[in-house]
Structure 1
Amino acid sequence: MSGATGALTADPTWDLLEDDTIVILGRAREYLSGLTDLIEECERDRRFPAEIVRPLVDVGFIRGPIPISDGGLGLTHLQSASLMEEAGRAWASIRTTTNIMTLVAELLSHAGTPDQKKEFLTPLLSGDRLGWFAITEREAGSDAGAVATRAEPLPGGGYRLSGVKSYITNANHGDFGIVLATVDPNLGSRGITAFLVERSDGYRTIEHPHMPVRAVSSCDVELDRVVVGPDRVLGEVGRGLSLAMHGVNGGRLNVSAGCVGIAQACLDASRTHVTTRKQFGKQLAEFQLVQKMVVDIATRTAAARELYRSSARLLDSGIDARVACSMAKYFCAETAVAVATEAVQVHGAIGLTEGHPVERFFRDAREATIPEGTSQMQILQIGRALLGVSALR
């Protein structure tokens, strides 16, 4: 590994990674480290800086896992997830945004026609378009099969979309999205179909300010009789839900890695704080209880990192890693929450101050237990795999 990225190879969390992965992470960290001033401004103003998308693409985000034949980099799951750890460590809003755009790119690469790839995927991978993915509704969150947004078939072969999607990341600043809607409610999940929708088609977004990842938009997307042509069906009619599941392992893995990034940031901040702040005439680091808190943060972070990396390696080997990715998502998300809580405690009153990094880590960690399947849904899916009994249906 010597000489791969100069001084950056000193990071002990990279010790077991291959040289090419270290180079990728080094480039990403170098870019992300220059965003510090932008973070405070955008979090305060709840603004997503669209100007950073192209540089993020250049260092490997979004196009990383896409095959070279489609304009991507062909990165492994481990490499892509490791990038997401870097994003989580620097700014969780980037991890959230790029994870969704990566999912959109993966679905287009997997199921898009040549024309769809030319119109949507190619500009997405160059940073010229911003995409979003809409499956969730007020009454269809964990139960994705309950999608009620309707896609009414038209005589000319197109569809009229009507319904409201909720909590949709990127929709406020993105210019196109993938919408899951049913062509026939009587068919249940077998009627759910994926459609490509552009802003010019006439959908409306309503922003909902939220507690975590404040530089990311979270919107309702209102589709009021939005008409799309037959060429906007992504994949096969009635196969939208299975298409969405195509990217589920990668999505959960990316969230897991981002959570480890948050945990690592908590560890970095806590170590600096306890070795520079004094109380009762000595460093905080000299107190036994403080040492225990920092040790717990470090141990949990290391364990979570090993779990997501082992899951990534399973995916890269071609093994069915659904359970492993669910375990990683469950454990890493809950670890981020626990670690961020400890980091706030380590910092004391200043850790509760809005604008302080650990206050942001705490909010962002809490978000991770919900998207890409809540912790409770992961437990139920893992339980079904282990016990052979479903607690859902």
Structure 2
Amino acid sequence: MQLSGFRPAVAAALLFVLPLAACGDAPQQTQAAPPAPKVTVAKPVRKLVSDYDEYVGRFVALDFVEVRARVSGYLDQIHFVDGQLVKEGDKLFTIDRRPFEASLEQAKAALEQARANLAFAEADLKRGSHLVPGTSITQQTLDQRTQAKRVAEASVMSQEAALKQAELDLQFTELKAPISGRIGDRRVSIGNLVTGGATGTTTLLATVASVDPIRFEFTMDEASYLRYLNAATAQASSSANRGMSLPVKLKLIDEDKFIHEGKIDFVDNAIDRSSGTIRARAEFKNSDGKLTPGMFGRIQITIAPPEMALLVPDSAIGTEQVRKFVFAVSEDQVANPKYVTLGPVVDGLRVVTGLDANDTVVVNGLMRVRPGVKVAPETATATSDSKDQVVGTN
């Protein structure tokens, strides 16, 4: 058997296979690790803060009066400009006085007539009382003169009352401001018939609302009410505000800070069964008249003395189901979660418990961090800005 033709073929095959085997034995190159995520870190802010609650409510006027006429007649004059400030006693409306002046003169005349009748009855009785009964005058005649005198006295009293009523009616033709405050617009124009009296069909002419001070009404839940009672003094429990002499501040919807200071002056006498809340009221100064009845506001009630607390921006807080956490960066630049309890917001920062003042927390780039992963931190100061615009370098 000849193998001369087989050997060259095997040699060629071996030359092809050996390079492939050499390639398979070469070590594989490892994939490069991803760079550490860049984050912004900061120390928690230490600040003296107070524990407080916030509620939304509305302003109400201390006094609010509907101006209505007490007598009927045609409206003759209007003495104010719609919306102006008025003082107590300022003249607002005048009803045509002429009919009431005539009625007053009639009442005066009727009184004079009654007094004349009384004078005659007194003189007639005096003459009869000097006569001997049963001779010149009968007892019946004497009794009649006595009765006439009493009737004349009653008529004088009646006419005096009618005169006082006529004088009052004439005074009621001029409607004056019952309180100081801001008047609304006129509801009736000059020349219209105004219905007065004590019935429910009287004509509404205008309204006046007091300006300074002003009240703010809000509702608090039962748990907060009990907490405030515990903080109040026992000696003041019989007062109108249940002893809740707690500092209160207020801000309007266009204000960033609580700049209006006031005091609680009233707490209702029952908790509403349907909502489980109780109505309360605070009083504020309003010298510039900016606070208006019906306006919304937010009230802040301080319930504890100021204490030192740690604050971080809301952008540093993450959520794990029902728990809240922040990423704390160690000295070797490894981020690990630290669970915290949230408090109120103070000057744009969130009060948290569960942190140490020396902790370094991630304030921006929270979504790029994973537990136990090394990060590339850049140091900044904790602010209320929740965007990735906090700048600073280590």
Please tell me the TM-score bracket, short chain as reference. Answer: under 0.3
The higher-RCO structure (CA 8 Å, 6+ apart) is: 2
| Greater share of helix | 1
Larger radius of gyration: 2
Normalised by the size of structure 1, how large is the TM-score? Answer: 0.18
Normalised by the size of structure 2, how large is the TM-score? Answer: 0.18
